[in-house]
Amino acid sequence: MQRNQSTRSSFTVGHPGDDWIGVLLGVYLFGLVINTHPALNLWIGGIEVFRPDRVLVIPFVGYYLLCNVELRITEPVLFGIAFFATMALSAVTNGVASGTFLSLSIQYVYVLGVFILMTSLQLSTDQLRGLLRFLVLMFALIALIGVVQAVTLNVPFLGPDAIPFRFSTYYGYRRPYSLTAEPSYLAMLLSSGVAVLFPAVVSNRPILFSQRNQRYLLWLLTVGVVVSGSMSGYLTLVGFLSVAVPVVLWIYGTNRTIVGKGLSGILGALLVISVDTSFIRMLASRLSGLIVLLTELGGVSGSADIRLFRWLTAVEVWRENPLLGVAPGGYEQYVIAHRPTTYLNPQRLVSVEGGWLPVLAMTGAVGFILFVAIWGSILRQAVAVVSDSARVYSSDLCLIGLSVVLVQLIGWTFTFSFVDPFRWAMIAVGYLLVLHAAAQSSENCDGTTSPPSD
């Protein structure tokens, strides 16, 4: 990997670190963020023929082709290629040649291809910080719109008929959509922003913005997740913080003031929102439903019940072929043939959702191990960078990268397909930060560069 000779790049035109590629990457990520809005997707005959990210990726790919950029085949990419080969082998051994297999294969090639392009970039520290600022501000705007919608929709004297906002109602609480398709999408986007800002805030240094603005933005994004009313968003956020808090505090040291301010801000937001009794009823229902789900493995209506049935079904499907699974396409056929008669809407079980158990069902133990290895290799490299005391100059961006990867992997437990382009792209951003930090650390240890300034 080519080493830069300073913390600011002096790339020539056509180099992958050129300013244009950073802009094109930002445009593509913008397309992924607005992807979920139904007005921006065009379907004809049940086939999705237009989606923003598929259009905005064209300039990004075109830049690579025109500039003849050398691709970087990393360890996660090798595992990803092996995983795709396992998918194909599973389809062959199971005799599956359905449209579902073809569709998922095309989607996987797409997300893996973009992952390779993104992680082949060589951006400077300033360019990476600029990209992170762009993402945070984009997420913050979506959070602000969501919070305004939540407050407006639940004001007693207005009512939903007087407001042209899209929303769904749960126990009387009107859940905002902001610019997304549904509350779970809103929570997914905003939790990614929380992952970017959390290490920056705990560091108590102006890594991306001023210290005060970093705290305000983190507070806004957290409130956005809370008002979404998404249980998958809540569990993702809690799961992420339970892992990230000890890791980040271990790196930066225990900063009780910052942690106290952060918790006070979150509690303050909850108190403000709790003025609306419908939010309390919704939250109480979500929590009680989760307890019932964990203790009785059933008896909960709504998305939690559907996800539980999907997980249990995935385990049953995996038992049919533990080694290679039943292949994409075979999974759906099995569910339709063996669906539980007591379930009122068995067709919803067919949806391939989640990044873990459906992968186990479709590709077996071999595919599951390879899929885990893709992300495990990234986490291993990130931990190696942040735990090396000689790499003090690279901890900031690497910790942000580690946080971004963690929140996507945790969120994959609850929502979205294993070929979801947003999760793959955000993990690619996190891995790009890890690779940059590792290279910069090596240069600093070799004495070839000076430490980056804040």
If one compares 146 and 173, the residue with the highest pLDDT of the two is 146
If one compares 105 and 287, the residue with the highest pLDDT of the two is 105
Distance CA 117, CA 436 (A): 15
Whether residue 83 sits in one domain with residue 136: no
Instruction: Take residue 230 and report the two structure tokens written for it.
Output: 């998404």
Q: For residue 427, what pLDDT is reported?
A: 97
* Confidence grade of residue 98 (pLDDT, cut at 50, 70, 90): confident
Whether residue 146 sits in one domain with residue 45: no
**pLDDT tens across 207-225, in order?**
999 989 998 999 999 989 9
Indicate the average pLDDT of the chain: 78
Q: For residue 448, what pLDDT is reported?
A: 43
Whether residue 45 sits in one domain with residue 79: no
**pLDDT tens across 334-358, in order?**
776 766 555 545 555 555 567 788 8
Judge contact between 282 and 290, C-beta under 8 A. no
* Confidence grade of residue 450 (pLDDT, cut at 50, 70, 90): very low
Whether residue 136 sits in one domain with residue 246: yes
Q: Say if residue 81's pLDDT is above 60.
A: yes
Which of 237, 269, 300 marks a domain boundary?
300
If one compares 106 and 333, the residue with the highest pLDDT of the two is 106
In a domain, residue 3? The reply is: no
Which of 70, 86, 108 marks a domain boundary?
70
Percent of the chain with pLDDT over 90: 30
Q: For residue 163, what pLDDT is reported?
A: 61
Whether residue 137 sits in one domain with residue 282: yes
The whole-angstrom distance between residue 37's C-alpha and the CA centroid of its chain comes to: 17
At 260, the amino acid letter reads G
In a domain, residue 225? The reply is: yes
Query: What are the φ/ψ torsions at residue 354 (nearest 5 degrees)?
Result: 105, 150
Instruction: Take residue 238 and report the two structure tokens written for it.
Output: 């809690």
Q: Say if residue 2's pLDDT is above 50.
A: no
Short-list 170, 324, 198, CA closest to 259: 198
Q: Say if residue 428's pLDDT is above 80.
A: yes
Distance CA 416, CA 71 (A): 28
At 330, the amino acid letter reads G
Q: For residue 269, what pLDDT is reported?
A: 57
pTM, rounded to two decimals: 0.85
Q: Say if residue 404's pLDDT is above 60.
A: yes
If one compares 83 and 333, the residue with the highest pLDDT of the two is 83
Distance CA 209, CA 207 (A): 6
Q: Say if residue 5's pLDDT is above 50.
A: no
Q: Say if residue 445's pLDDT is above 80.
A: no
In a domain, residue 424? The reply is: yes
Judge contact between 140 and 192, C-beta under 8 A. no
Whether residue 60 sits in one domain with residue 37: yes
Whether residue 278 sits in one domain with residue 401: no
**pLDDT tens across 292-325, in order?**
444 444 444 556 666 777 777 788 888 888 999 9
Q: Of the spans 75-89, 226-240, 279-293, which averages the highest pLDDT?
A: 75-89
Domain containing 186 equals 132-300
Average pLDDT over residues 95-116: 87
Average pLDDT over residues 112-140: 93
Q: For residue 260, what pLDDT is reported?
A: 61
Q: For residue 293, what pLDDT is reported?
A: 47
Helices (H) and strands (E) counted in the chain, each on its own, are 15, 4
| CA triple 300-304-306, angle to 5 deg | 90
CA atoms within 13 A on the CB side of 269: 19
Cα dihedral: 33, 36, 39, 45 (round 10): 130
Which letter does DSSP use for residue 417 in this model? Answer: B
Number of domains in the chain: 3
Q: For residue 384, what pLDDT is reported?
A: 87
3-state secondary structure of 82: helix
* Confidence grade of residue 370 (pLDDT, cut at 50, 70, 90): very high
In a domain, residue 312? The reply is: no
Which of 70, 87, 109 marks a domain boundary?
70
At 215, the amino acid letter reads R
* Confidence grade of residue 14 (pLDDT, cut at 50, 70, 90): very low
Whether residue 103 sits in one domain with residue 159: no
Whether residue 23 sits in one domain with residue 103: no
Other Cβ atoms less than 10 A from the Cβ of 28: the count is 24
If one compares 447 and 170, the residue with the highest pLDDT of the two is 170
Other Cβ atoms less than 10 A from the Cβ of 17: the count is 18
Short-list 201, 224, 72, 196, CA closest to 130: 196
Whether residue 349 sits in one domain with residue 226: no
In a domain, residue 4? The reply is: no
Other Cβ atoms less than 10 A from the Cβ of 74: the count is 19
In a domain, residue 108? The reply is: yes
* Confidence grade of residue 176 (pLDDT, cut at 50, 70, 90): confident
Q: For residue 444, what pLDDT is reported?
A: 54
Q: Say if residue 407's pLDDT is above 60.
A: yes
In a domain, residue 339? The reply is: yes
Q: Of the spans 72-86, 295-309, 386-400, which averages the highest pLDDT?
A: 72-86
Whether residue 375 sits in one domain with residue 284: no
In a domain, residue 308? The reply is: no
Q: Which of 140-144, 208-212, 278-282 has the lowest mean pLDDT?
A: 278-282
Percent of the chain with pLDDT over 70: 70
Whether residue 218 sits in one domain with residue 113: no
